[in-house]
C-alpha cells in the first residue's frame, strides 16, 4: 500500500481513481460564478458546491449525486489509490468512448500510473498539461497527443 501525507491538500484533492479533484469544475465553481450557475442548471445541488474533493466528502461526488462506487471500493479494500489494489486495473477504470470528449474518465489509469511511478507532487504539477493534451491534443501516432 502507498504511503502519503493524508492531511496534505494534494492528497485530499487527488481522488483514489486518479482524477485531479482540484481541476474539477465542481471544486473550482467558487472561482467562477458562470460555472456555478451552469453546474446548478445541470442539476448539481448548490449546497454541495464548491466540492472540497471526494476524499473530504467520503465519495459523495456532487457530479453524480451519490456515493461513488469506486470510492466505496477503495475504502472497503483499505487502499489509498486504485493502483494499490491487487485487482488493478479493474472494470471500473476501463476506458469508454461515451462522453470522452467532456469527461475525464479515460485519464484515470494514465493519471494513476503517473502518481504511482512519479509521485503526487509531479502528478499535480503535470495535471493541467495532461488534461490539455487529452482534450485539445492532436494524436500523432508514436508521439502521443500533441498540442502544438
Residue 121 lies in a domain: yes
Residue 127 has pLDDT above 60, yes or no: yes
Number of domains in the chain: 1
Residue 111 lies in a domain: yes
Residue 92 lies in a domain: yes
Q: What pLDDT was estimated at residue 53?
A: 93
Q: What pLDDT was estimated at residue 145?
A: 92
Residue 16 lies in a domain: yes
Q: What pLDDT was estimated at residue 2?
A: 60
Range 63-67, long-range pairs (CB < 8 A, 24+ positions):
63/24, 63/26
Residue 148 lies in a domain: no
Q: Provide the residue range defining the domain that includes 131.
A: 9-137
Please compute the mean of the pLDDT values over residues 116-127 and round it to a whole number: 94
pLDDT tens digit sequence for 38-89: 999 999 999 999 999 999 999 999 988 899 999 999 999 999 999 999 999 9
Contacts of 43 (CB under 8 A, 6+ apart): 65
Residue 66 is inside which H or E element, if any?
A: strand 66-67
**Cell 502519503 maps to which residue?**
4
Amino acid at each position: 500500500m502507498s504511503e502519503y501525507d493524508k492531511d496534505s491538500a494534494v492528497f485530499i484533492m487527488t481522488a483514489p481513481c486518479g482524477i485531479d479533484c482540484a481541476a474539477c469544475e465542481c471544486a473550482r465553481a467558487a472561482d467562477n460564478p458562470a460555472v456555478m450557475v451552469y453546474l446548478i442548471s445541470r442539476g448539481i445541488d448548490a449546497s454541495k458546491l464548491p466540492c472540497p474533493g471526494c476524499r473530504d466528502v467520503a465519495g459523495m461526488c456532487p457530479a453524480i449525486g451519490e456515493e461513488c462506487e469506486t470510492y466505496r471500493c477503495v475504502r472497503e479494500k483499505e487502499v489509498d489509490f486504485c493502483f494499490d489494489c491487487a485487482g488493478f486495473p479493474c472494470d471500473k477504470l476501463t476506458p469508454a468512448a461515451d462522453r470522452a470528449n467532456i469527461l475525464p474518465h479515460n485519464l484515470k489509469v494514465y493519471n494513476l500510473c503517473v502518481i504511482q511511478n512519479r509521485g503526487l507532487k509531479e502528478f499535480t504539477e503535470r495535471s493541467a498539461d495532461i488534461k490539455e493534451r487529452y482534450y485539445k491534443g492532436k494524436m500523432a501516432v508514436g508521439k502521443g497527443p500533441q498540442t502544438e
